[in-house]
A = this chain, B = another copy of it.
Amino acid sequence: MKKIEAIIRKSKYDEVKEALHAKGVDFFTYWDVSGIGNEESGLTYRGIKYSTYDIARRVLSIVVEDSKVDSVVETLLSSARTGEVGDGKIFISNIEKAYRVRNSDVDGGALS
């Protein structure tokens, strides 16, 4: 299982949520964060063009089986994109074990 952590613009949340729902993603959590960044862009600083931003962001944490990762990432990339600096990032990490609290189901059974 993998955890897909998507740090997106808060303004794109509804669109992303609908796209995930259409892909059959059955469980995720989200919360609001602040994002600090410097990315090569408009302003010039010491000869390099930078844009500093502090954008209202929402983190979506989605745990899925390995076979679904690519499809969910594609869905996130297309639904969360504006094309402007500050669209956010997606990070993939490993989940070793999962439990459903209601009935102690584990791993695949906890996610389905």
A residues lining the B interface (CB < 8 Å): 1-3, 6-8, 17, 21, 26-39, 57, 59, 61, 63, 73, 76-77, 80-104, 110
Protomer copies: 3
Contact present for B37 and A93 (CB under 8 Å): no
A25 and B89 CA atoms in complex are apart in Å by 15
Residues of B within 8 Å of A85, CB to CB, are 102
Main secondary structure of the interface of A (DSSP, over half): strand
The winner among A8, A91, A101, A103 for most chain B CB atoms within 10 A is A101
Residues of B within 8 Å of A104, CB to CB, are 77
Residues of B within 8 Å of A63, CB to CB, are 89, 91
